[in-house]
A and B are shown apart, each in its own frame.
Chain A
Amino acid sequence: MQLKDFRDPGLASKLVGAIHAAMPSGRFTVMEVCGGQTHTIYKYCLREMLPENLRLISGPGCPVCVTPIRFIDRAVSLALDHGCTVYTFGDLMRVPGTAMSLERAAAEGGDIRAVYSPLQALARAADEPEREAVFLGIGFETTMPAVILPIVQAAEQGIENFSVLLSGKRVPPVLEAVLQSPDVRVNGFITPGHVTAVIGTQPYAPLCEKYRVPMAVGGFEPLDLLAAVLNLAQQFAACTHENANAYTRAVPSDGNPKAQALMARVLEVADDELRGLGTVPQGGFAIREEYAAFDANRRFDIQVESREPAGCACGQVLCGVIEPPECPLFRTVCSPDSPVGACMVSAEGACNAAYLFE
């Protein structure tokens, strides 16, 4: 089970050959909804290998990209106005807020620390009881267990200076929002492998049925993504709309019931704002009342005024309506050095990838 086994060029060649052989005529658009998959596609230039009539686009699956500007502003306020120690995944540091990014807020004196795991944030909060510690809990369902485990542990261990500013999103409602959008026509989806490893494949079934669109769970190594594309190509040819799984070694159909139970214990489903999609019904999570003490939204009175940057087309890029180069700000005003929107900051953002890799 070595990673390199799933990057084998010989097997890649076979999968690509099979895709070419399976694809019917006509133009088809496949959307992947996962920043990690976007990254792999760009890293290995998988699009170059696919048939001309198969267009592979990236959807709103990058949690950094779909995080509303208001969230960054609130995080900055917690650091600068409320004097909290803000712990965050590295990905968020350079996302522009209305006034500034977290990186800039750190330069202005904010105590902002990047960590690999929310559990590290809790450990350090316990070490520094005199400081209010807030973890910026962004992510889709893959990350939610990691974000809420410290809440449960803090409650059990009586750690009172720790809370989470939550911006957790749910993939199935996001898929539905894309399917309902009049601006983008998607013929098939590669569903995110690690989200599905947690939630299981069942949540996608009603969508396949209702919209008659095939889906295939995809992994993150190039062969896994090619295998998911192959499944969809075969489904296009057969005109089926099945809820398939091309990442079976990591994704049992029921996902991870223990993780699901933990999530149900701490979180409830809520309507939520996703950048580029507006408010998505049931699109996110909120922390339950019993754990209100660990909900930074309730613990702190955070006042901010937020504004989208003028001309930023992140919303359209996120939904695959336009490609990065079609945004008027791409390369002219917006670059990784001076990003306007999140799509250019995040290592998985489509604009960032397009800028660096092409």
Chain B
Amino acid sequence: MAEQKIILGHGSGGRLTHELVRDVFCRHLGDNGPSSLDDGAVLDFPAGRLVYTTDSYVVSPLEFPGGDIGTLCVAGTVNDLAVMGAKPLWLSLGVILEAGLSFQTLERIVRSIARTAAAAGVQIVCGDTKVVERGRGDGIYINTSGVGVLTRPLAEAPVAPGDKILINGTIGDHGMTLLTLRRGFELGTHLQSDCAPLNHLIEKVRAVVDVKWMRDPTRGGVATALNELADGSEWGILLQEESLPFSEPVRGLEELLGLDPLYSANEGKVLMVVSAADADKACALLGGQAAVIGEITAEHAGRLVLNTTLNTRRTLGVLTSDPLPRIC
């Protein structure tokens, strides 16, 4: 039997669409999928403030070591809610399929969505499917918007000099993994994307420690996220190069391609600011290769500064555009 593929008819709204939604999406999403297929989902919102986010996913290739666009589209949106301090509840799933996409690939992606939603404890409550002609899409584009509930805002005490900055593990894994897959830079590594939902981990830390600020350092990396924190403040941020956790292959790629992993995307990492007294406890709760990577300082107002391994200091600016490997 010929391999089954998406055709334009799957987007027509008729029988084929219905079958696609039922046999691929609903079937694989299972308990984490919509309970009804009405035009909208009617939901009982718990006590607290509503937090709402959206993200679109256009990653290429669709599947990569450590995950796929399915893992990403759930984890990314869940994490945006989680770093706001909200408990993620419901996701919408809007999908644009390119005619010619194989069913097998689509099913793998939907299974990833289901698995990641289950891991995060969230429900896909509504969705939409469209199909575009072959050549007008990269296989699949996904948009997920997410709703969460904020019952307890982030710590009342503002960020201040002396506070510590933590991260829950190695830096730059996702961005560097994708780079190795781009044609022209095929270099063998065991590197994997760190793509994962972080809401349970964040809840675990917040149950014990007052977290003052959180961000998931996705596009633009840790350096861009921390610049956003420092920008316009009366205090600055000092990172310790010695303390930055990197996996070995990321270090290798940094040397080989001349790319700075501080500007590479992370999809399973959270940056947190906590008081100095809470730093060790928070780090222990984060586990794995979590580390204290720097602190808020009274100097360098508004700037992110790196203390190098040679104890000299340099400013880490904001990423200007997509970093391409260099030869110089």
Footprint of B on A, CB under 8 Å? 3, 7, 9, 12, 35-36, 39, 42-46, 48-49, 62-64, 87, 89-91, 93-94, 113-116, 120, 124, 139, 143, 222, 335-337, 346-348, 355-358
Contact = CB atoms under 8 A, between A and B. Distances in A.
Contacts of B321: 94, 336-337
Contacts of A64: 328
Given A9-B311, A44-B312, A347-B326, A335 B320 contact: yes
A43 B183 CA distance: 29
Interface string B251-291: 00001011000000000000000000000000000000000
14 contacts: A3-B255, A9-B310, A12-B310, A35-B328, A43-B308, A46-B312, A49-B312, A63-B328, A64-B328, A116-B187, A116-B325, A139-B327, A346-B326, A356-B315
Give me the 6 closest cross-chain CB pairs, A-B, nearest first.
Answer: A90-B324, A45-B312, A35-B328, A115-B184, A336-B320, A356-B317
A44 B310 contact: yes
Contact of B328 (A39, A42, A44, A87): A39
A89 B310 contact: no
B4 interface: no
Interface of B: 183-185, 187, 255, 257-258, 308-317, 320-321, 324-328
Contacts of B312: 44-46, 48-49
Given A46-B312, A48-B313, 8 more contacts: A36-B328, A42-B314, A62-B328, A89-B326, A94-B321, A116-B325, A335-B320, A347-B258
A114 B185 CA distance: 9
Given A9-B309, A49-B312, A91 B320 contact: no
Nearest to A357: B314
Contacts of B309: 7, 9, 44
A337 B311 contact: no
A42 B308 CA distance: 11
A42 B258 CA distance: 14
A44 B310 CA distance: 7
Nearest to A46: B312
Given A91-B328, A143-B327, A357 B317 contact: yes
B132 to A, nearest CB: 19
Contacts of A46: 312
Contact of B327 (A42, A89, A335): A89
Contacts of B327: 89-91, 139, 143
B184 A116 contact: yes
Nearest to A146: B327
A63 B326 CA distance: 11
Q: Which of the listed residues B184, B187, B316 has the most CB atoms from chain A within 10 Å of its own CB?
A: B184
A87 B184 CA distance: 9
Q: Which of the listed residues A64, A124, A356 has the most CB atoms from chain B within 10 Å of its own CB?
A: A356
